[in-house]
Amino acid sequence: MKRKLKMRRKMESSSTKVTASQVNPMPKVIVVVVVLALLIGVSLYYNYSSVGQAYKVEPKGMAFEGKIPDEEANLDKSGAVHFVVDKTNLTAAVTPSLSNTAWRILFVGASYVDSGAVQYEVRVNEEKGEVLAQGLLDDTDGSSGDLFLDDDDVPDLEVVYKNGILKVYNLNYVTAGAAQVEVYDDVEAIGNINSQKVGSLFFVTKVAKDAPKNYFYFKVSTSSMPAVTAFWKSGEKIEFIDLPEKISASDVGMKFRVMKLLVDPADEKPQVLVMNITSDALMVQREFVFAVNGRMYDMAEKNYPKVQIIKVSETAIDVNFTFNGGLGLYGFSLPCGSIADITTFPGLKENVNSIYTYEGAKVKQWKADAPANDLSGLMFGRGYLLKLQKDKSFSFTAKGCFVKDGQLDSVLPSLSSGWNFVGIKGNMARLASELKAPSGKKVVEIYTRSLEGDVKNPSVLEPGRAYWVKVE
């Protein structure tokens, strides 16, 4: 038994790494073929039930399934190829993880052996080309483990055989939805991490007409060469120029292009840039905020409180709320920070009738004429309702927000089963579809509170507003 276990451990590694020092591949080919013969012999002798590493979670990515196409399968675009083994051969194009390595055309062969297992091999270019890796996979559930195509420590391929289907995975596959956008203030700084601007918030200064122009450079990387368009959310004319000379291969499995943006603000307000990035027929959207004179966020819409988020120092942020007239309930939330004692607000009792929140299936309130109140402070991420006195208005400023690494955190609220009354953190709007329910649950209803009543199923969540979210 001990001998059998020892032999089996030896069989559990079937991947072969290629290094630049292997100038003559023949010795390696001979060794691999001998090992393969030994594996087949041992498998028949011991009638083992599983060869290769334990089956891993399937890598993400679209898969080409069914009959192998006449031309090679591009694993940089599909991520995986699934097919039934019947002495089928696959020609696949894939970019290895080493960034300075070009595409490789691979030959992947697969066939059954007498034991019922599948013999696979990965070669360069053709059936008789250099062997990169080969081994046996069990007919029930087996994996080759990580396979390497270049001289680094990052795996490139995995071959899996499960329930009669052979699956060839590109472990470096990146979906279009994972588009990476880096922003620089100098085109020559691209690639220099010390000059890279972080995140999606940038502080700029209102400029005179004769001041130097401010340019930013956007490096957009996706799994295939992306198409990029952009516009200012305010509708103003945009100067967004593609730089065709800055199109190249980037990091692991990625390709990039660079665009030049003119930011020349004349007004003291946030300018929001919206970018549409298309790759492999999939489109994703990214937003970037240019805070003019510290104005990071400015929302003024009928039936909602006016909300301004303003950077007042290198580290501190103020959030200004204004409630203008009307006897309905305003929904609001703090996008950052907290307020320990709302009774310190100037004009609270004279202008506000009541403030409510919903916490742990219990309503808490502050009311101007109540003998006792159980709501004394405000916290970020929690929803609140405010009712004004007749013909009154009210404003207050929330302090205690801080910028870290030039950014204000954008965080979605934690949800629990039942009704949640919440707001989002940060200075950026978020998609309602991004809300995460606890495991096994889902978000079934969303309402935002306006002065004229609830608005059902908003598609976007705005900082400073309050949302009812039902989880079942």
Please report the DSSP string for 136-156 in residue order. Answer: EE-SSEEE---B--SSSSS--
For residue 118, what are the CA distances in angstroms to 79, 124, 136, 167? 22, 20, 6, 12
Q: 359 and 375 share a domain?
A: yes
- Closest to 446 (Cα-Cα) out of 430, 410, 422, 414: 422
Q: 384 and 276 share a domain?
A: no
Average pLDDT (111-137) is 83
For residue 14, what are the CA distances in angstroms to 53, 105, 257? 8, 21, 38
Q: In what order do the strands lie in the sheet with 316-324?
A: 295-299, 306-311, 316-324, 393-402
SS3 445: strand
Q: 285 and 299 share a domain?
A: no
Q: 224 and 320 share a domain?
A: no
Please say which residue of 170, 201, 231 terminates a domain: 170
What does the pLDDT look like over 375-425, one tens digit per residue? 989 988 899 999 999 999 999 998 878 766 666 777 888 899 999 999 999
Q: Of the segments 123-137, 182-196, 438-452, which one has the largest average pLDDT value?
A: 438-452
Domain tally, the chain: 3
What does the pLDDT look like over 292-324, one tens digit per residue? 989 999 999 988 999 999 988 877 889 999 999
Q: 103 and 226 share a domain?
A: no
Q: 138 and 247 share a domain?
A: no
Which residue segment(s) compose the domain that 180 sits in? 176-292
Tokens, residue 172: 């470096």
Q: 81 and 132 share a domain?
A: yes
Q: What are phi and psi of 155, to 5 degrees?
A: -70, 150
Q: 6 and 153 share a domain?
A: yes
pLDDT at 344 over 50: yes
What does the pLDDT look like over 190-244, one tens digit per residue? 876 666 666 788 888 876 667 777 889 999 988 778 889 999 988 889 999 999 9
pTM of the entire predicted model: 0.63
What DSSP state is assigned to residue 200? T
Cα 190–chain centre separation? 22
For residue 377, what are the CA distances in angstroms to 27, 257, 338, 346, 356? 75, 49, 8, 15, 11
Q: Write the CATH number for 192.
A: 2.60.40.10
Q: 12 and 155 share a domain?
A: yes
DSSP β-bridge partners for residue 286: 275
With contact defined as beta carbons under 8 Å apart, do 365 and 375 qualify? yes
Q: 451 and 312 share a domain?
A: yes
Q: 286 and 324 share a domain?
A: no
Q: 73 and 188 share a domain?
A: no
Q: Please provide the DSSP assignment of 320-368 as one string.
A: EEEEES-SSEEEE-BSS-EES-GGGSTTHHHHEEEEEEEETTEEEEEET
